[in-house]
Amino acid sequence: RDEHEQYREHVAASLEVCPWARVIKASDFTDNAVGLFHTTGPKLGRLAGKYRPLVPVLRELILRPDTPLDPGVKDKIAAQLDDAEVRFAAILR
């Protein structure tokens, strides 16, 4: 099986049951994955392909009522994830 698919399944399953982990993962994701524009070479496309499918998963999990963040903070993170989706799409074109 594809290792990136396994990674995404693991992340989704872990975050499903741990609301605070969603907050930590979203922070880590926005720092690392969104910063891919500073990466060059073949690694860029590989990492964008790894991270892009996580955007809707993270967005849905962050916006859940049990995620321990204020609504405005959730909206800000959702907007950052929307920006990430646009960036990943540009990288993968």
> Quick check: 59 pLDDT over 90?
yes
pLDDT of residue 36: 80
Task: Band the pLDDT of 76: cuts 50, 70, 90.
Answer: very high
Q: Which two tokens stand for residue 35?
A: 């910063």
| pLDDT-based confidence at residue 25 (cuts at 50, 70, 90) | very high
Considering the entire predicted model, what is its pTM?
0.87
Confidence at 34, pLDDT banded by 50, 70, 90: low
Our CA angle for 38, 43, 2, nearest 5°, is 135
The secondary structure of residue 40, as a DSSP letter, is -
Average pLDDT rounded to a whole number, residues 69-83: 94
